[in-house]
Structure 1
Amino acid sequence: MDSLPQLLHEPWMHTLIGTLLLLLVAWLAGVVTHFVVFRVVRGMVRRTTWRWDDELFRFGVFRWLARIVPTVVVQFGVALVPGLPDLTRQLVSNIALGLMVFFLVMAISAALSAMEAMYRATPTGAQRPIKGLMQLVKLVLFIVAALVIIGAVTDKRIGLLLSGLGAMSAVLILVFKDTILGFVAGIQLSSNDMLRVGDWITMPGAGADGDVIDITLYTVKVRNFDRTIVTIPTWKLISESYQNWRGMSESGGRRIKRALLLDASTAHFLDADEIERLGRFRLLREYLGTKHTELLDWNRSLGEAGEQMVNRRRLTNLGTFRAYVSAYLHEHPRIHREMTCMVRQLPSDAQGIPLELYCFTATTVWAEYETIQSDIFDHLIALLPEFGLALFQQPSGRDVRAGLAGLERAVAPAGDDAAPARKGE
């Protein structure tokens, strides 16, 4: 028992007790700060109508700030611990200072994330994201913090560290090449409004065909329509071409550019009976009346040459069908009235006569667009026989068999018709 009081008077015991008391006080300071932050501050944040304090709390700004308190206690309290060597005291103080800087930088980083989240929720933020810029600021912040922490722990000046880094500039440029390229590309994309989150882009070289879901300092993420996600380096969107469909979405109309391939052998002049039958179409009455007057005046102007049928201008089923399609599109309720709408005949080729529809739907919704386009072509394809026209189609196996059967019937002798019956008896 007598040894205990004597032990308490030992210098190393004073140092041990002082160290334990310092750690206890730092721990209690952390507990109290944690209680204040997560009870008092959280209650205050929930009662306010401001949004910025909610975001700061959600991203952990107050949590990182609370962790600074124990390091402050250790940094300034280590000088009160008796018997510590100066080197140890300096080392502990430097480590505490380094931790303090680290926690402070993490709090600033969380605050920047909260700021970016609040900006992204605004209408401007949805169009011009600053996530890449924030990542660059954080990167610079972490580099500076790393230099400060290394300088604090090693007790070296930051200028000496920077001079050493200057000699490694070539290596640094190589290491941060993607960062530099991404930063420059991000500035160009943002300043020129070339890309936004939510844009539909097509980039075949990168396998991208879908909506942009994220733009960062290094990459742009695209969710394809097959639900796969493609990651494209940000600088690649500057160095290579891609197609942005935002203009189509904002215009309110989506283009239909598709052709009907008509069989050239079905094109012919209309006779009187066919003209009378086509006059039943409401959409053709004005066209037939105007065209009849125009052709009549033209043929009369020919004089005696107009008596020959080969010299006259006459209506064709192909031209009449083209006029019907044009009138049908101009009256269609789902075709955009203020955008280009026309029907044109393209050069004939081995696939027939292409009759192209060039117009815009009054909606940009993909499913509705496909439905409108399909309904239009369903109607026109089903209506072709009324004009004496047919689609060009490559011969199928059924067509070949039917042709061969007809050829056999045409060349077979008359007496062979009863031969199969005799063989079956």
Structure 2
Amino acid sequence: METQFKHLIYDRLIALNVPETTAEYINMFGLLLALLIIVFIIDFITRKLLVKAFNKFTSVSKTNFDDLLVANKTPRNIAHIIPLLIAMKFTPVVFGDFPNFDGVFEKGLQVFAIVLTLWIVRSLLNTVKDYLKTLPRLKDKPIDSYIQVFMIFAWVAGFMSAIAIITGTSLLSFLTALGAASAVIILVFKDTILGFVASIQVSINDMVRIGDWITFEKYGADGDVIEINLATVKVQNFDKTITTIPTYALISDSFKNWRGMTSSEGRRIKRALFIKQEGVKYLNENEVNKLKDIQLITLYLESRQEDINSYNSSNTINKELLLNGRNLTNIGVFRKYIDVYLKQHSAINKDMMIMARQLAPTTQGIPMEIYAFSSDKRWENYEYIMSDIFDHLIAALPYFDLEVFELPSGSSFEGKHS
């Protein structure tokens, strides 16, 4: 049957006294055209039927995996297999009288078969990637990196196989020759290799996940990680710009990951008031009694004053000079006020550290640092809470005869010049 089909046009042309060589060429082109039309029609029908069958199946299926298969065009790619097999089957028939053409066409079909296989593998891997991203425990993992690495190896293997087919050499011989150019290959794929190693280390060490807030000053990144792939990490900054960072930079450079804060029970407040040193003083009894009107520290002052008076009395301290014996200072009482104020503040997490501490004096005054954690970790609310606390403390300073340090401005000298 194949023999009859092979000379279907040729026999009729010979009967019409067409030269043999001309008849062979016309026969070949006619059969080739017929084969291409048949392959195209079969491909169209197969593709329509397969896609329609998949769509019907996905409409009744409960899982979304098959929906992702359709979205990534897996059925369309698979549908090309049947036309390809038909083309490979009948190519020897079409080019029966031209063995050289037959060899070239068959090699072309084999190369296309490799490319088609890679398309199918890519669509399947993209489907797996999209499906895994829908799973809560895997949605923050760098799945893109692993898919890209696999596809790189697949494309390299496909490229080498195609070259081996075109040149007519065995794959082993081609790989042997390729080994001599390994240094060049490593240089060309340096970033890919570094990215692959980095993505593995990032995943194993759990350094960065999708959704993490990171700060990478070297690259101007400050925002949420939205994508991790083989070559780059994409960060959406808080101003909605996108910063792209090389993946290997995550293990070669220093960056800050705020995940520990977001997963904890509070967000740290660590800021200081700079108090003028000239305002620091001992408090006499009248000044202490006046400060007792501040309800947050009334009990503290009564208890401390009783202890101090008892000590000074038992040790016969001469209190005509305020320096002698034990005394309260306005800055010390203010520090205690801050501590009590923070502990009763509704927005401060009471289960985490709360501390008001005095740091080493500087040329700008004495830093009085607040160290605590807000219960609300959202940026806007966090800033509001911190501002609310410092608004109150700055306004409270004059009640303790203290002032905040600030550099003098032009208005500071107006009185002196008048």
Matched, 1:272 2:248: no
2:102, 2:60 → 1: CA distance? 44
Q: 2:193 aligns with which of 161, 166, 180?
A: 180
Q: 1:327 aligns with which of 340, 356, 365?
A: 340
CA RMSD for the aligned pairs? 2.0
Equivalent pair of 2:232/2:246 in contact (CA under 8 Å): yes
Equivalent pair of 2:78/2:120 in contact (CA under 8 Å): yes
Give the deviation of 1:308 after TM superposition: 5.0
**Which segment drifts farther, 224-233 or 172-181?**
224-233
2:30, 2:317 → 1: CA distance? 130
Matched, 1:105 2:98: no
Give the deviation of 1:169 after TM superposition: 0.8
Equivalent pair of 1:262/1:352 in contact (CA under 8 Å): yes
Query: Which AA in structure 1 matches 2:380?
Result: A
Equivalent pair of 1:76/1:93 in contact (CA under 8 Å): no
Equivalent pair of 2:24/2:97 in contact (CA under 8 Å): no
Matched, 1:220 2:233: yes
Match of 1:243 in 2: 256
Match of 2:7 in 1: none
Query: Which AA in structure 1 matches 2:16?
Result: Q
Matched, 1:375 2:385: no
1:309, 1:386 → 2: CA distance? 21
Query: Which AA in structure 2 matches 1:20?
Result: L
Q: 1:388 aligns with which of 381, 385, 401?
A: 401
Give the deviation of 1:306 after TM superposition: 5.5
Written as runs of structure 1 = structure 2, the 5 A alignment for 1:30-179 is 30-81=43-94, 83-179=96-192
Give the deviation of 1:135 after TM superposition: 0.4
Equivalent pair of 1:72/1:96 in contact (CA under 8 Å): no
Equivalent pair of 2:284/2:322 in contact (CA under 8 Å): no
Equivalent pair of 2:342/2:348 in contact (CA under 8 Å): yes
Query: Which AA in structure 1 matches 2:174?
Result: L
| Aligned length, in residue pairs | 404
Give the 3-state SS of the residue equivalent to 1:303 in structure 2. Answer: coil
Matched, 1:293 2:303: no
1:309, 1:270 → 2: CA distance? 8
Give the deviation of 1:143 after TM superposition: 0.6
Deviation sequence 1:376-421 (CA, Å, 0-9, x none):
000111111111111112111111112222xxxxxxxxxxxxxxxx
Match of 2:9 in 1: none
Give the deviation of 1:21 after TM superposition: 2.0
Deviation sequence 1:315-357 (CA, Å, 0-9, x none):
2221111111100001111111111110011121221111111
2:69, 2:53 → 1: CA distance? 15
Give the deviation of 1:105 after TM superposition: 1.0
Give the 3-state SS of the residue equivalent to 1:196 in structure 2. Answer: coil
Match of 1:193 in 2: 206
Relative to structure 1, is the Cα distance of residues 225 and 82 closer, same or farther in structure 2, using a 3 angstrom cutoff?
closer
Unaligned runs of 5+ in 1: 406-425
Give the deviation of 1:20 after TM superposition: 2.2
Matched, 1:6 2:19: no
Query: Which AA in structure 1 matches 2:375?
Result: A
Give the 3-state SS of the residue equivalent to 2:377 in structure 1. Answer: coil
Give the 3-state SS of the residue equivalent to 2:243 in structure 1. Answer: strand
Deviation sequence 1:99-122 (CA, Å, 0-9, x none):
122111111011111111111221
**Which segment drifts farther, 47-56 or 76-85?**
76-85
Query: Which AA in structure 1 matches 2:338?
Result: V
Give the 3-state SS of the residue equivalent to 1:186 in structure 2. Answer: helix
Give the deviation of 1:82 after TM superposition: 6.2
1:297, 1:272 → 2: CA distance? 14
Give the 3-state SS of the residue equivalent to 1:123 in structure 2. Answer: coil
1:18, 1:395 → 2: CA distance? 96
Give the 3-state SS of the residue equivalent to 1:261 in structure 2. Answer: strand
**Which segment drifts farther, 34-43 or 212-221?**
34-43
Matched, 1:344 2:344: no
Give the deviation of 1:65 after TM superposition: 1.5
Relative to structure 1, is the Cα distance of residues 357 and 4 closer, same or farther in structure 2, using a 3 angstrom cutoff?
same
1:369, 1:241 → 2: CA distance? 26
Give the deviation of 1:47 after TM superposition: 2.1
TM score, norm. by length of structure 2: 0.92
1:386, 1:88 → 2: CA distance? 100
